[in-house]
A and B are shown apart, each in its own frame.
Chain A
Amino acid sequence: MSGAKRPQPQSSSAPAFYNNPHVRAVFYQILLVCTLGYLFFVIIANTLANMEARGIKTGFDFLTTTAGFDILMSLIPYDATGTYLDTFFVGLLNTILVSIIGIILATLLGFVMGVAHFSRNWLVSRLAVAYVETFRNIPLLLQIFFWYFAVLAALPSARNSLNLADAFFLNVRGLYLPAPVEEAGATLFYIAIAVAIAAIIWFRRYAKKRQDDEGVQLPVWRISLAILVALPLLASLFGGAPFSFEYPELRGFNFRGGITVIPELMALALALTVYTGAFIAEAVRAGIQAVPHGQTEAARSIGLKESKIMKLIVVPQAMRVIVPLLNSEYQSLVKNSTLATAIGYPDLFTVFVGTSLNQTGQAIEIVFMTLAVYFAVNMTISLLMNIFNRKVSLVERK
């Protein structure tokens, strides 16, 4: 090749800066941001002006004043002398609690039902289909009412509770369980559990290495379970009983002592689980169907057991389809938990947007804070699920 370059067509002068696509792009974006900023400014200024004209107090000062009302259930110490900020946290924690319970149970139920769809047993697979079609198509609010007003409200009164071994009681006021109280041996017990978990992690690595090196398959599950049971058991033999139990007792009007699971929580968690579980089951079914049948056949041809085919071949590939769907189901579940207000479960929406807003009248501030919370919670779920998604996604050769 000759070193001589072909002469480039030269324009008489450099292009005008306003014809430069980069400059244009930046210019329009700045313009858009300014317009949006101005729009928000107008809305906020307008709101504040209107509120002041009508004599409505604004600001976040109310958060430090005493709320003066009681809340049915709180995970942090709270009574009527708490502040509105406390009610915010009580509600927030209750929302997070019911969301976590719902997400865990719905995932379990959804996976079981999704896999059951492919069962060779006709009854099991029809049951899975019936479950999905029923609960996916009934509005969630109705399901919440069903569990709360039809099922749980039909339980007997406190005096005629369903009683199991004088330790567990179920009645219209909720489920009463014995509460563990830490005794002298508790510290040793906790240490034993920590050691057991560490030992199991080490053992699983060892087992994997043995299999990679020598092809020997150790009974990992059985040995892990044995470690998890044996070590804490030994600890309590030597260190004395780690816990004693405080049993619920019927005194006056209600049971006292022990742990109380309120029916509002049970009804909401049940409804969220059953409803979201149906959607997750469909996601799981879609994921499994997305795995080409050839994969299963190939796995059978090398003599893998059916359970191993599911675990090692189908599910890991199906996860790539399932995880993004799970992400949106989890987010829906958190948002749906605001229906708690229909049955008085004290979640963030009921306590803060409901009662606190009504007692203080600070609608704008309270709604703004609540929006921010739901936004943050769902962004966190999305972030975690995206990290998880990257782990299960197909790694292609570069």
Chain B
Amino acid sequence: MKKLASILTATLALGVTATASAGTLEDVKKRGTLSCGVSTGLAGFSQKDEKGNWSGMDVDVCRAVAAAVLGDASKISYKPLTAKERFTALQSGEVDVLSRNTTWTHTRDTSLGLNFAGVNYYDGQGFMVSKELGVKSALELDGAAVCIQAGTTTELNLADYFRANNMKYTAVTFDTSDQTRAGFESGRCDVLTSDQSQLYAIRIGLKKPSAAVVLPEVISKEPLGPVVRQGDDAWFNVVKWSLAAMVEAEYLGVTSANAATLLKSGSPEQQRLLGVTGDSGEKMGLSKDWAKNIVMQVGNYGEVFERNVGMSSPLQIARGLNAQWNKGGILYSNPIR
């Protein structure tokens, strides 16, 4: 009887306490590491080298958040997630932030209990085919077998595009980017479709990159960005403004190289960003120098882009839409003041 009573009490307690949980910001500070969901491996966005170090555009968002919250961009435990696993991992609290080339869509923003904290890469869906097929346009792909990654917006756009153009196709879906590439390489499918950025990343991973061409059509808008759980506004603010700080730093001309000197000699805007003046950090529950830590340890958006996917990287992607709004792109950070 005593045992039974204790079980009952335990259950009652469970019923009362399980709904209450501390904020993610406090959790991360207490834990001392940020848990960040990334892809299972995608050149330029999140990939692991032989030593186990992660790098890429998406990884740098994680590092920026860790730098802002913990003052150290390296205090991160990375969780590689497939497209199928990512939302459940975030919803269930397995990761604090999901930074994994995820398209910001209405359904995901409104019905999954998630919030998109901004866009760190403006992308669009394209096609890659083997050169020997002699295909010049996506409209010649009627009847083709197409390799896709399962559970992505890509899968839905593809169906829309082929239906709108009265073409048929066979969908061959794989779990990870690597399996998709292997399927394309073995000839299981004629076409590989994905976001343009991923196509270039997958292409350089092929045994013979020159044997594949990316077709000119871009069939969708794919704004990719970091995601957090809905209902935790303090944490949402931290991630949102960490991303914004990188963009703003580039706009203001603050780089990892000149940030230290700008602390004394910078313009009022630059000094406000770096925490010399103002209290932008305190308002979010962070230290005064949160943005300085981001720029010093991770770099501004332009540096991050060049290093991972830009002309100085193997991917050699042009800035395009991802240039600052005053340089022909659509990148625009709300003012930090």
Chain A interface residues (CB < 8 Å from chain B): 31, 35, 38-39, 42, 45-46, 49-51, 53-57, 68-72, 80-81, 149, 153, 157-158, 172-173, 251-254, 256, 263, 341-342, 344, 346, 350, 354-355, 357-361, 363
Contact = CB atoms under 8 A, between A and B. Distances in A.
Interface stretch (B58-66, B152-160, B201-209): B152-160
21 contacts: A45-B15, A46-B14, A46-B15, A46-B18, A55-B110, A56-B113, A57-B111, A68-B160, A69-B171, A149-B182, A172-B186, A173-B145, A253-B133, A256-B143, A344-B150, A344-B173, A350-B173, A355-B84, A357-B84, A359-B156, A361-B87
Given A68-B160, A344-B150, A361-B111, A254 B144 contact: yes
B142 A252 contact: yes
A42 B19 CA distance: 11
Nearest to B190: A253
Interface residues on B, range: 35 or more
Contact of A80 (B4, B159, B188): B159
Task: Provide the main secondary structure of the chain B interface.
Answer: mixed
B285 interface: no
Contacts of A39: 11
B14 A49 contact: no
Interface in B103-121: 107-108, 110-113
A251 B168 CA distance: 13
B8 A68 contact: no
Contacts of A72: 170-173
A54 B7 contact: no
B91 A358 contact: no
A51 B186 CA distance: 43
B137 interface: no
A272 B264 CA distance: 69
A291 B91 CA distance: 56
Contacts of B151: 354-355, 357-359
Contact of B163 (A80, A149, A251): A80
From A49, A80, A350, residue with most partner B Cβ within 10 Å: A80
Interface string B164-206: 0000011111110001001100111010000000000000000
Nearest to B18: A46
B143 A251 contact: yes
Contacts of A256: 143
A354 B84 contact: yes
B230 interface: yes
B88 interface: yes
Contacts of B83: 358
B229 interface: yes
A55 B236 CA distance: 15
Contacts of B133: 253
A361 B159 contact: no
B175 A35 contact: no
A341 B170 contact: no
A31 B141 CA distance: 65
